[in-house]
Structure formats: C-alpha cells, structure tokens
Structure 1
Amino acid sequence: MDVLLRQLYQDRASEKETLAILIIEKDLLPLSVTDGFDVVIVLINHNQDISWEVKHYQLGERRVSFHSLSQAMMHQTLIVGNHRRLVDWLVNGKIVFDRNEFLKDVKERIESFPPGDRSKKMTIQFTKMLRRFEEGKTLFHNGHYFDAFSNMMHSLHHLARLSVIHHGFYPEVTVWEQVRHIEPQTYKLYQELLKSEETLEKRIELLILATELAIHSKTEMGSQHFLSLVQGTDDIYSIADFMSLNEVEDYCVDLELLVRHLVEKDFVSIKKIETKAEGIVKTFYRVKKF
C-alpha cells in the first residue's frame, strides 16, 4: 500500500516547482482533521496559478485526499487562520520531501511565531470577536436567543484564539486544550457556560458581560497591528484611506467596526470637515499618540 501511496507523489517531487510534500495518516495522528480521509497528502509549490487544488483517490480500502497549494497561499493561511487544520498538518505531518529544508524553516517559523505575524493574527481574531459580539448582542436584544448564543460562542472562540496567539502559539484544532493551560480563566468561563443549568437567556447575559470585559481589556493588544500602521503622525484619514492600506487587507471586511470601537475607547478621535453642501460634513479620523 505504501508503494501505491508513493506513486501519487514521487513524480511531483522531481518537479522544480515542488517545495515540500508531507503526509498525514489518520491512524497515526487521530486528532488531526482529515475530513474522513484515511490519508492526506499536502504538496507545497511555487505555482501561483493554482492557489489550492484538491484531488481524491482510492488506494484499496484507503481514501486519499491530495492537496496542492502555493507557497503564497500557505503563508496567507497561516496569517489569516482560516484553515487551522493546515497548521496541524504542517506541524504534525510526516515530511517525505523537503527541498532546501523549506518545510523545516516553515515549522521553525510556526514555533518561533515572529512578532509581526503574531500582531496581525491578533488583530484578525480581535476584529472577528468584535463582529460576532456585536451581532450576538443585537440578536439577543431582539429576542433571537439561539442565534445570539451561537454568535456569542463564536466570539468566545475568537477570544480563545487571541489568547493563544498572545502567548506566542498558533491556534490549533484543539484550541481549548491550549487555552486550558495558557489562560485558565477563559477556559473556566467556557466550561461554566457549557455546564450551566441557567436558562439560555441568563447564559447569554453572562456571556455578553464576560466578553465585554474581555474586549475592553484586550483592545490595545488586539488593535496593535492596525494602530502601528497609522500611529505616530498628525495625519487625518478617511475610512477609505484606512481600507486602502495593503496590510489591513486580511481584516478589511471588519475595519469599519474596529475603527468605531477605537473611537469609543478613545484611541482614535473624529475630525469633521464641512463639504460644499450645507449641513453635510465628512468624517475623518486621527489616531491618538500614546
């Protein structure tokens, strides 16, 4: 069977665009997310035309999922965190080909987690937490308790990932196991919510209060990446100016919400400039110096 498995990837290893190949076997790594497949093969290459391509194979009784992704897509995924299973695959997968120790360097980067990567990932998770919190609170006040609870739990998950990143680790599939060791108070809140015998309404109220406190205490840390881009000048910015910054692309969809929150928390001030139309002013922003 291993001979058949090798036949799937050995020819690709000789291609100059192939940087690394690794294998994840469900039987050997039971906690890895393989989407029900017995084996996952991950190939990373230089090819920018194919960002992420998947093929399925059947090898006797074993089902195989073959993922080919570009180096650029791999790095973007590690920053944005929208495929946590990829981190798990890169960290725990068996390396069968590694050109010039490319994957070894990637794993070292994951382990060392450079401050620049960490700062951006924290802001991504913070903005997602804000989004889910605002939506959950609105749904709760309108009596949609199930949807509100779902959003608030998602907000708590983003808080968990934010905590893990802050302590210098990539959030993995078993993120709550990481949080249990890193930030016990957040883990305790999660446990209490799951085991609580209170009504759903009361549990959501508790979750709103706890998340509000967490957002307040983590605003500066969670906004660090964005603030570092625009702090230290007396310039005023429109929201379009903020959104045009290349570095905010990965959380641009929630940037308006983040800016509004930073205004409320007094990190950003508003400057109104009159337009030619009487009674209409345009809103600009200035980031305060701290």
Structure 2
Amino acid sequence: MADILLRQLYQDRASEPDTCAILLLENGGETSSITDGFDAVILVLKEKPEKNWEIKHYNLDNINVALHILDEEVLHYTLIVGNNRRLVDWLVSGKIVFDRNEFLANVKERIETFPPGDRTKKMTIQFTKMLRRFEEGKVLFIKGHYFDAYSNMMHALHHLARLAVIRQGYYPEVTVWEQVRKIEPETYKLYQELLKSEETLEKRIELLILATEFAIHSKTIEGSQHLIDCMKREEKEWSVADIMKIPEVEDYKIDIELLLNFLVEKNILRILHKPSKAARIHHIRYKFNFL
C-alpha cells in the first residue's frame, strides 16, 4: 500500500515535460538523518521551475513524506560547491524512479568519475574556504579568543580533509574522515592527535596553526589551480573587476580578494600600479610572475 501511495504522489510529475528525473529515498531505520526524520523523501528535478527549490510535506496513511522540487541548475551548483552534502547523499543512496534521457544516471556517473574540470574547481573552493578559516582563526588566537579560534581552525582542518579527498579523485562524503584515513593518513593522524591531545587548548591551537600553515604552503599551486587556469587564458594585466567577471569564478568570488593577496604574498602574482585620472592614485592590476 505504501508503494502505491508513493507512486501516486510522484507519477503525475513524471509526465510533466519539464521534469528531468525523480529520485526516491526511503528511511530504512538507519537513514533518518539523511531523510531528516521523514519516512521517505521524493526529489523531483525540474528544468527552470518557478521556484528553484520548493518543499511540500505529506502524510500518506501515517507515512510522512517530504517532496522536494528542485531546479536542475541548483543540483549542478551543489555538486561543484559542495554546500549541501545531504543532497549528494540523496543522489548516491536514492533510487531512480524516473529518468528522462538518463539525466540522473549521468549525474551519478559524474559523481563517481569526478571529471578533472569539476575536481580542479572544487579544490580551489575548498582551498579558499580553508584559507579564510585559517586567517580568521589566527587573528582570533592572537586576540586571545581561544574557543572561537579553535572552532575556526577545526573548520580549516575539515576543508583540508576535503581537499585531500578531492585531490585523489573522490567525492567528499559525510564520512570524510574515514575517506582521509585511507587516502592521506598523515592528515588523519593530525586530526586524531588533536582530539586525543592532553595539551592545553592554547597549545592545541598552536599546533593546528602550524600544521595548517604548512598544508596551505604545500598545496598553494594545486589549491589555486582553477583561478590560475582561468587567468592564464588571456595574457593581460588583470583588475579585480576583470577577475570577478569570469563566470567560473562565481562560486568562490566571495573569497577572491583573500586568494589574490595570498598569491601576491607567495610571489605567484605581482602587483602593477597603473595611473588613474587623479594624481598619486593608481589602479592595481595583477599579473603572473612565472606561469
């Protein structure tokens, strides 16, 4: 009976011309966190719906169901940016019940194969997030705000973990540390040492800062590769406005100034001063030193 009621809920949507695919995720008892406590989740992927994400809740003969109607573009954005890991879990664990032109089959294959283009961009996104958390954590530590500093540095370490997983060609899962344990044992060991350490909080933060600083330094080129590739397409002196206009940079442009200053500090980019209309005021342009 439950299967019949569920089918009734999504079958009509399958016949709508703008429906790309429908995914069903049923709660088997251990997946309640993935389904947010619902007995089932139905994900309907649409081509340019009125709302980019619409949610409806139903009760089918005492079965609670969440129906998510999602713009396919939001799905693709999530796969690159990684801002909704629950959605990725649904794609991995859910059952395809409707798939026009193998839309979802191709999405699942994209997750499994993780194409190099996706990988490079995702690495730069994680690198900039790690850089942001590291810088904020370091400032908070200097000011003596140890709990907030520790929180930021742990977030930086999580971004480092995701970076390690992506670097090896895998998609970061919810159990990212289990992935890291197999892929990059030295990062996993650092995480374990921090959790089990009997050192004071101040000493643990100091260790985190040193370890993260080393990781950032050693991963500068590969972590910045997506931006480097985008800028290398044109041999010119770049203004920050030019860089912000690059469509592929959209997903991490919130941290672009931090990344640019970091690359200048690392001598990968150099700053050029160009005259403006006003005396003694110059425009800043960026150019590669050796790439």
Pair in the same fold by TM > 0.5: yes
- Unaligned residue ranges in structure 2 (runs of 5+): none
Q: Write out per-residue CA displacement over residues 60-100 of structure 1, whole angstroms, 9 at most, x where no aligned residue.
A: 44321111111111111111110111111111111111112
After TM superposition, give the deviation of residue 14 of structure 1 in Å: 1.2
Counterpart of 1:260 in 2: which secondary structure? helix
Counterpart of 1:47 in 2: which secondary structure? coil
Note closer, same or farther for the CA distance 1:275–1:99 as it changes in structure 2 (3 Å cut). closer
Q: Write out per-residue CA displacement over residues 127-168 of structure 1, whole angstroms, 9 at most, x where no aligned residue.
A: 111111111111110011111111111111111111111111
Alignment of 1:173-192 (within 5 A): 173-192=174-193
Tell me what 2:52 maps to.
51
Structure 2: distance between partners of 1:34 and 1:287: 47
Counterpart of 2:219 in 1: which secondary structure? helix
Is 2:132 aligned against 1:131? yes
Among the aligned pairs, what percent are the same residue? Answer: 64
One-letter amino acid of the structure 1 residue matched with residue 164 of structure 2: S
Alignment of 1:2-151 (within 5 A): 2-27=3-28, 30=31, 33-151=34-152
After TM superposition, give the deviation of residue 106 of structure 1 in Å: 1.1
Structure 1: distance between partners of 2:59 and 2:156: 39
Note closer, same or farther for the CA distance 1:110–1:189 as it changes in structure 2 (3 Å cut). same
Q: Determine if contact 2:21/2:100 at 8 Å carries over to the other structure.
A: yes
Q: Determine if contact 2:275/2:281 at 8 Å carries over to the other structure.
A: yes
Larger mean CA deviation between 262-271 and 25-34 belongs to: 25-34
Q: Determine if contact 1:238/1:284 at 8 Å carries over to the other structure.
A: yes
Structure 1: distance between partners of 2:42 and 2:153: 35
One-letter amino acid of the structure 2 residue matched with residue 37 of structure 1: F
Output the aligned Cα RMSD: 1.6
Counterpart of 1:283 in 2: which secondary structure? strand
Structure 2: distance between partners of 1:216 and 1:67: 42
Note closer, same or farther for the CA distance 1:276–1:114 as it changes in structure 2 (3 Å cut). same
Structure 2: distance between partners of 1:221 and 1:29: 37
Task: Point out 4+ residue stretches in structure 1 off by more than 6 angstroms.
Answer: none
After TM superposition, give the deviation of residue 234 of structure 1 in Å: 4.1
Counterpart of 2:210 in 1: which secondary structure? helix
One-letter amino acid of the structure 2 residue matched with residue 147 of structure 1: D
Is 2:258 aligned against 1:288? no
How many residue pairs end up in the alignment?
290
Counterpart of 1:255 in 2: which secondary structure? helix
After TM superposition, give the deviation of residue 279 of structure 1 in Å: 3.2
Q: Determine if contact 1:32/1:88 at 8 Å carries over to the other structure.
A: no
Structure 1: distance between partners of 2:287 and 2:125: 21
Structure 2: distance between partners of 1:288 and 1:75: 34
Tell me what 1:258 maps to.
259
Is 2:153 aligned against 1:152? yes
One-letter amino acid of the structure 2 residue matched with residue 289 of structure 1: F
After TM superposition, give the deviation of residue 276 of structure 1 in Å: 4.0
One-letter amino acid of the structure 2 residue matched with residue 41 of structure 1: I
One-letter amino acid of the structure 2 residue matched with residue 104 of structure 1: A
